[in-house]
């Protein structure tokens, strides 16, 4: 991704997070599902969603699914760099809930009847660079640790282990992006900043990944650390 894209993306998300923090902590039940949060974030990031022309509509897709470059240019296609739940190619499983595409790397495969205002004339699309945001929402798990009555030792609850499994899965998907952010909204405030860093900092890629945490009483972010 072009360096000039990184700063606006991170800065815009940071501003959106601070707005989200105020609103959520005033009324935590404004978000009943993860998708309420994703939708709200998407709206807060609307300044990133301005339409731009993509001058790469010069590919066709054969019946074998392979992309073939056309000799003649077919003109530009206007699209937004920001989308919900898309992968790096059409029909590919989404790698993030919200993606911010580097349109310099986007390509469209078009039919012989291509028209820039005719959606059916675009048979496929792909891109190779961008930023991703994913959200994890804990609504149900209320306890982080449990005590063994025989040994007196504390261990993680099964619920917390499930949260961490989900978070690690999202981190794995987000590693594919040039820049990525994971937001964990925790209705029960199970983590301190130290706990979150101990559990996830070494899994985040330094310099390119951030993890934000929001609970009814706290809000902060952590970054990756070298092993």
pLDDT tens string for the chain (227 positions)? 444 555 778 889 999 999 999 999 999 999 999 999 999 999 999 888 888 888 655 666 677 777 777 665 566 788 899 999 988 988 888 889 999 999 888 888 776 666 666 666 677 788 999 999 999 999 999 988 887 777 767 788 999 999 999 999 999 999 999 999 999 999 999 999 999 999 999 999 998 999 999 999 999 999 998 76
Residues 22 and 79 in one domain: no
Residues 96 and 121 in one domain: yes
Domain final position from 130, 160, 195? 130
The answer to whether position 8 is within a domain reads no
Residues 40 and 61 in one domain: no
Q: At what angle do helices 34-44 and 3-26 cross, to 10 degrees?
A: 130
Residues 38 and 137 in one domain: yes
Contacts of 226 (CB under 8 A, 6+ apart): 206
Contact between 60 and 24 (Cβ < 8 Å): no
**pLDDT number for residue 168:** 97
Helix (H/G/I), strand (E/B), else coil: 118: coil
| Count of domains for the chain | 2
Residues 99 and 57 in one domain: yes
| Domain encompassing residue 151 | 13-47+133-222
CA dist., res. 132 & res. 85, Å (int): 10
Q: Are strands 209-214 and 179-186 parallel, antiparallel or unpaired?
A: parallel
The answer to whether position 168 is within a domain reads yes
**pLDDT number for residue 133:** 96
Distances (CA, A) of 110 to 51, 101, 179: 19, 19, 29
Residues 155 and 56 in one domain: no
Domain final position from 130, 154, 180? 130
The answer to whether position 227 is within a domain reads no
Q: 43, 26, 21, 57: which is closest to 183 by C-alpha?
A: 21
Domain final position from 130, 161, 190? 130
Q: What is the pTM of this model?
A: 0.86
The answer to whether position 59 is within a domain reads yes
Residues 101 and 210 in one domain: no
The answer to whether position 205 is within a domain reads yes
The answer to whether position 207 is within a domain reads yes
Give kind and range of the element (H or E) at residue 10.
helix 3-26
The answer to whether position 121 is within a domain reads yes
The answer to whether position 151 is within a domain reads yes
Residues 97 and 121 in one domain: yes
Distances (CA, A) of 72 to 23, 63, 69, 141, 169: 51, 20, 9, 57, 43
């Amino acid at each position: 991704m072009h360096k000039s894209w990184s700063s606006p993306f991170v800065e815009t998300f940071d501003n959106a997070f601070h707005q989200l923090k105020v609103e959520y902590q005033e009324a935590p039940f404004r978000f009943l599902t993860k998708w309420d949060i994703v939708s709200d974030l998407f709206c807060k990031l609307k300044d990133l969603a301005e339409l731009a022309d993509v001058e790469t509509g010069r590919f066709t897709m054969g019946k074998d699914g392979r992309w073939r470059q056309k000799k003649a240019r077919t003109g530009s296609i206007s699209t937004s760099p920001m989308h919900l739940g898309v992968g790096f190619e059409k029909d590919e499983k989404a790698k993030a809930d919200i993606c911010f595409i580097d349109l310099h790397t986007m390509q469209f495969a078009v039919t012989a009847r291509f028209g820039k205002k005719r959606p059916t004339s675009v048979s496929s699309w792909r891109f190779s660079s961008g930023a991703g945001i994913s959200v994890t929402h804990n609504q149900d798990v209320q306890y982080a640790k449990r005590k063994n009555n025989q040994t007196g030792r504390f261990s993680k609850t099964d619920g917390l282990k499930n949260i961490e499994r989900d978070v690690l899965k999202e981190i794995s998907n987000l590693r594919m992006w040039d820049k990525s952010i994971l937001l964990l909204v925790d209705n029960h405030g199970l983590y301190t900043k130290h706990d979150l860093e101990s559990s996830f900092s070494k899994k985040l890629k330094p310099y390119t990944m951030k993890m934000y945490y929001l609970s009814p009483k706290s809000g902060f972010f952590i970054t990756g650390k070298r092993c």
